[in-house]
Structure formats: C-alpha cells, structure tokens
Copies of this chain bind each other. A is one copy, B any other.
Amino acid sequence: MQADPDPRRAVGTRTMEEVVRKRPPESPTLLEETIRDFGFAEIWTRPGLDRRSRYWISISASAATALTDPLEDYVHGALRSGEISLAELREGVLHFAVYMGWPLGRQFDRIVTKVADSLGLSADVPNLRDRPWDPDERFAFGKASYIDIMTFPSPEGPTPFYDAGIKNFVFGEMWMRPGLDQRARRWITLACVGASDSPNPIATHVYAAMKTGDATVDEMKEFVLHYAFELGWPKGSVMQTAVETMADRIARGLEWM
C-alpha cells in the first residue's frame, strides 16, 4: 500500500469535516480538490487566527457574494461547532445588513432561520426598544460611540447620511447592541467594507481595528489571507495594502490620514 501522494488530502478532509460538517466529494472536480487541499488544509489550519474569527470572516464574505450554499454551510458549521450562537448570528445579520445593505442582509437572515430550524434552535434577541427613542439622546450617544469605535470624531455637518444614518442609527444603535462582542463586529465590518470596495471605509476600519486593540497586526495579516480565499486575490491585495499602510501609520503614531 502506497503512502498518500499528497498528505494535504487527509488534513483538508478532516478540517472540512470540522468546519462545515461535510465530507469532500469522493470524485472531486479540480476546484473541489483545491478547496479541500488548499482552503481547508492550508488556510483554515493556520495558527494565527482563532476559529471563531475565521467563521465570522467566512460567513460575512460569503453572505456578501449573494450566494447561499457556502453561507449555509458555514452557518451550519458555526452553530454545530458551538463557535457562534444563534443569538449572536441574529446580531451579526443586523450588523452585516448595515454594512452591505438590507437586500443582502435579508437573504442572510433567511439562511440563518433555515439552518436554525433544521437544527431545532431558537433564540431570544435582547430588545433595546423597551422605551421610545429620544432622538437627541440617541444622537449624542451615537457621537460618543463613534469616537470609541473609530478612534476619531465623526464628520460634522447637517447631512442626512451622517446625522440620520451614521450617528442616529449605525453608532447610536447598532454597534452598541450588547448581544455581540466588538471583536466579532470588527470581522464582519472588515469583510463588508472590503466586499464593498470602498477606499476610505477600508482604510478607517482597518486602522480602527488595530488601534483599538480588537485585532493585532499579525491577526490582521492572517485575516487578509483568509478573506482573499473567500473573495479572491484582487480584493485581498487591496486589503493587504491597507493593513500594511495602517499598521505603519499606527506604529508611527499617526492618524489614519
């Protein structure tokens, strides 16, 4: 009996079973073979980033593609492995929808419901709205939260996007919900600003992720590789440049620009 000509196969098969609870196909196509032998054997096994973080990156990136199958696999795997709870996923869906828009968010939400139903799971999500919102209070709260999360003040000026959008809702309500930790929110945000190809949001969120300590520089570099596998090398290249640039600026005590 010969030795396996490629030891990656066994590692990839085992890792794929752990991550998405599926075995690779018996007669894989070239792509399926590569997903097993490179994606699962050589990326998911790397030590520089914990598995929970990798799930959030893969889930957010695949939700951004508008496809459902890979997303469903990852959601299934995250829930089955216990790395992410259903209540956390519901918060993650909202966070994702804010960064990628609600049409994509709604599809992600339906996939979570489908997988949860198939596993017999249900979850209560804390309701923040037990009293009417005071618009002024929310606005002031959003302004303060923005600085905590982004590390610099939000743009000023009476404009609907910054006021009714960013301060009132994104930072006045969504980011501060208690059901999901800030590090998970970072991975969702980073995958989404990258998938959105938006230069300044990429720069500011890469900067803030490291500046707040939510992720180390080395973890951010691992993030780039993992994210590139999900969304392709060109988007990975943009993210890699942002991580290098912003790590350098932080090391030199500079603002993001």
Binding site for B on A (CB under 8 A): 5-8, 29-32, 34-35, 37-39, 42-43, 46, 48, 61-62, 65-67, 69-71, 90-91, 93-94, 97-107, 109, 113, 125, 129-133, 159-162, 164-166, 168-170, 173, 192-193, 196-202, 221-222, 224-225, 228-238, 240-241, 244
The one of B29, B66, B102, B198 in contact with A113, judged by C-beta atoms closer than 8 angstroms, is: B29
Q: Which B-chain residue is minimally distant from A71 (CB atoms)?
A: B103
Q: Assess the A161–B5 pair: CB atoms within 8 A.
A: no
Q: How far is the CA of A104 from the CA of B71 in the complex (A)?
A: 11
7 pairs, CB–CB < 8 Å, chain A vs chain B: A5-B132, A31-B109, A46-B164, A98-B232, A160-B221, A161-B236, A200-B237
Report the copy number of this chain in the oligomer. Answer: 3
Interface of A is mostly: helix
Using A31-B102, A98-B232, A165-B228 as known contacts, list a sample of 13 further A-B pairs with CB atoms less than 8 Å apart, ordered by residue number in A. A30-B91, A32-B109, A65-B103, A66-B66, A66-B67, A67-B103, A99-B234, A100-B232, A101-B232, A101-B235, A102-B229, A159-B244, A164-B225
Query: Taking A164-B46, A228-B161 as contacts, is the C-beta distance between A132 and B234 under 8 angstroms?
Result: no
